[in-house]
């Protein structure tokens, strides 16, 4: 558990904007910001880069104030299940083990409403932190923070980060960094480890 052998990845999703015209997109948007050295990942990818894996299917907890309804989380989890990923359970606003209060909720994907203790760019719609063991590429935990309104594809996009995917800036792709350039294209997201 040497701290230097691990890294935390912070991804600030989707840029600036509220349904703006396309030229706004050229603005420096919220950057994909992570603390690590991804030297081994080529600058140009023809599919989304994946940097981490869960050892066991993660448990998902939607915390009390998270702006996600039960239908939305079930639908987003099903989206990823259809791509070949397993989830242990989904707990909707039920957290008997206190994972929503945990700093490092090992084995869990925890979904929060953004709170004052978490720094997020004004232009970001959501943010995912996930913790990866640098030696094994195993994801230990993930925390997703949302602003109060969740737009189409954002929950699925953030779950993608929680499953280890980075951004992939192809037009209409789910993992596009900028929300208004993204969409439901899921190429390259199928689970190949099955
Ligand atoms: Zn993102």
Which CATH number fits the domain that encloses residue 63?
Answer: 3.40.390
In a domain, 188, yes or no: no
Containing domain of residue 46, as a range?
3-181
| DSSP single-letter state for residue 92 | E
Q: Which residue has the higher pLDDT, 45 or 158?
A: 158
Q: Which residue has the higher pLDDT, 125 or 190?
A: 190
Q: For residues 106 and 61, is the Cβ–Cβ distance under 8 A? A: no
In a domain, 165, yes or no: yes
Cβ-count burial of 12 within 10 angstroms (0-12 exposed, 13-18 middle, 19+ buried)? buried
Backbone angles phi, psi at 91, to 5 degrees: -105, 120
| Interatomic CA distance for residues 126 and 10, integer angstroms | 11
Distance 32 CA to ligand 1 centre (A): 7
Backbone angles phi, psi at 137, to 5 degrees: 65, 20
Residues 6+ apart with CB under 8 A from 21: none
Distance 161 CA to ligand 1 centre (A): 7
- pTM of this structure: 0.81
In a domain, 186, yes or no: no
In a domain, 106, yes or no: yes
Domain count, the chain: 1
In a domain, 191, yes or no: no
Per residue in 107-133, pLDDT (tens digit) is: 999 999 998 788 887 778 899 999 988
In a domain, 128, yes or no: yes
Distance 70 CA to ligand 1 centre (A): 22
Distance 31 CA to ligand 1 centre (A): 9
Distance 43 CA to ligand 1 centre (A): 17
């Amino acid at each position: 558990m040497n701290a230097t052998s691990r890294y935390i990845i912070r991804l600030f999703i989707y840029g600036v904007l509220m349904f703006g015209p396309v030229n706004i997109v050229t603005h420096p948007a919220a950057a994909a910001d992570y603390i690590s050295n991804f030297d081994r990942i080529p600058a140009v990818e023809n599919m989304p880069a994946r940097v981490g894996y869960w050892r066991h299917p993660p448990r998902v907890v939607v915390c009390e104030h998270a702006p996600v309804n039960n239908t939305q989380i079930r639908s987003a989890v099903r989206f990823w299940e259809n791509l070949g990923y397993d989830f242990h359970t989904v707990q909707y606003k039920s957290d008997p083990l206190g994972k929503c209060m945990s700093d490092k909720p090992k084995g869990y994907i925890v979904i929060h409403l953004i709170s004052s203790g978490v720094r997020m760019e004004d232009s970001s719609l959501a943010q995912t932190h996930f913790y990866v063991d640098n030696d094994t590429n195993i994801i230990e935990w993930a925390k997703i923070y949302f602003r109060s309104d969740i737009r189409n594809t954002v929950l699925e996009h953030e779950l993608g980060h929680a499953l280890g995917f980075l951004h992939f800036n192809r037009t209409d792709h789910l993992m596009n960094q900028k929300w208004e350039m993204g969409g439901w294209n899921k190429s390259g997201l199928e689970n190949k480890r099955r």
